[in-house]
Structure 1
Amino acid sequence: AHGMADDLLSTLCLATDSPIMVAPAMNRQMWENAVTQENIHRLMDSGLVIIGPNSGQQACGETGPGRMVEPEQIQQVVNDHFSSAILSGRHVLITAGPTRESIDPVRYISNHSSGRMGYALAQAALEADAKVTLISGPVSIAPPERARYVPVTTASEMQLQVSKSIESTDIFISAAAVADYRCMNVSDQKLKKADENLTLQLEKNPDIIASVTASKHKPFTVGFAAETNDVSENAKIKLKSKGIDMIAANPVGPGIGFESEINTLDIYWEDGHIDLGTASKHKLARNLIKLVANQYHEKNPG
């Protein structure tokens, strides 16, 4: 996780660009240690696939998480991974992260999006053998190596880059948390704290999803609905009003959603629904990509 290569195995892991899978096994207290979890998430963010561990009886006599996944299960995961070219030959365009709308040279309007869900989706789409373009607002994580990475800052910049790629796109996944509004007048000097109150005039940002669904070449489109209340109902409304093919509803709050390693996804499409539950964003991303691929191929047979 920290780039140390002091034996043959770790040297090979650092030197290869092939997929890497790890099936960890250890005492439950070691597994639950904060440092272990931090390193596991770092490996997952780097694109490694973590298999398990299971929960059960351990060699030390304790019971809990940390037991190695059975060899048969590991074999199945490996087989599934290398036979899952379900998006081979398809171009998947993904937006991720927040946007920033300047107030002055120092301040801006933004949100708490970490970009982790969108980046996990990009990695999962690559694992499904898709060609991936990742258009991302400012985040602190590295993009998947094989993705075409396009960094942007504002909503207008993101829309411009989406419009440049949309004609060659088969599947568009809008996972970015785009700011709804921007300042009408951006100060070229830092605003001074002179008055008790400050009034900002805001105007709406472009609706990126609406521009995609209205385009001549409309791809299979997946939206996200990050909500604090009435999550399912708001997602269903957005599914119909935006004219999209699928929507992933996720609650945001303390410990889940934005700035969290885990998420909860409830997926809706025209005549279907599935609850993917609560899990790591990487696991949810892989499950969502499989679902997206299935629905895409149903609408686009052959």
Structure 2
Amino acid sequence: MSERGSGLVGLGEFGLIDRVTARLSYGPAVLLGPGDDAAVVAAPDARVVASTDVLVEGRHFRRDWSGARDIGHRAAAANLADVAAMGARPTALLVALCIPPDLASGWAEDLADGLAAEAATVGASVVGGDMSASPTLTIAVTVLGDLGSRPPVTRAGALPGDVVALAGRTGYAAAGLTVLSRGFRTPRLLVEAYRRPEVPYPAGPAAAGAGATAMIDVSDGLLADLGHVAQASGVAVDVRRDAFEVPRQMRDAAQALGVDPYTWLLTGGDDHALAATFPPAVALPAGWRPIGGVAAGSGVTVDGRQWEGPAGWDHFR
């Protein structure tokens, strides 16, 4: 990916901050934006949902695989999805950048554009952060959210008899990563899913309003993340393989690369779908589909059987 603009040594930290903040706009929740020691964000619910995530070059992204705007979208999405998974609405993002001094200033500006654009899809704003020189490009994002007077939906409320449901898609980003790692740039559907996830943010508050008993952002793989729900709730979760349709592009890529597409669908991360459990009598909100059930016991199974192999991503495995 090409990088425009001069290096950061001549521009300096505060020159770059001025360029980046000049590109930002602010929603009604922002009472005071960048330019002071801290931002001020309205919290009408009197509670603030907060989450943070970090992306490290070479570990979470590569600049030869994704443009700066795409990486900005991904960095924001990873955090915004966490707030949606609590049943809340994101309001503000804080971004810390550790940047190699030889990075082109235009790259950082494009990153800010991607962060701001993804935040804007849910009415949130980038309100501040920090910058530092570093040999490794690192992006740390903190998100704030508003529950709108509802209790948070945690991982710990699933009950035997509940329906397991999914909003959004899984496996697309993982398939795109595999394609890129093998040196290809197509199918475009999969590669673009890795570069810029399509997150069903409104599905989180909708699930909370419908009475979801537990919910989680699928960031590390569906089976792995449902495992967190099972452990926190003290239940067993079973997923039905036939609840997942393998799109043609994924099926063709899997055949060409010698991969079982269900490995992508069930254990691939970074699409940031939302998984939740609902009482059996509850009508699922729009955008949610059933994929399994909850029972007494522990652990996660697929069609009643243990899954062979890793259930998802582990940073230290």
Which structure has more relative contact order (CA 8 Å, sep 6+)? It is 2
User: Above 0.5 in TM-score?
Assistant: no
Larger radius of gyration: 1
What TM bracket, shorter-length normalisation?
A: under 0.3
Provide TM-score, normalisation by structure 1: 0.26
Provide TM-score, normalisation by structure 2: 0.25
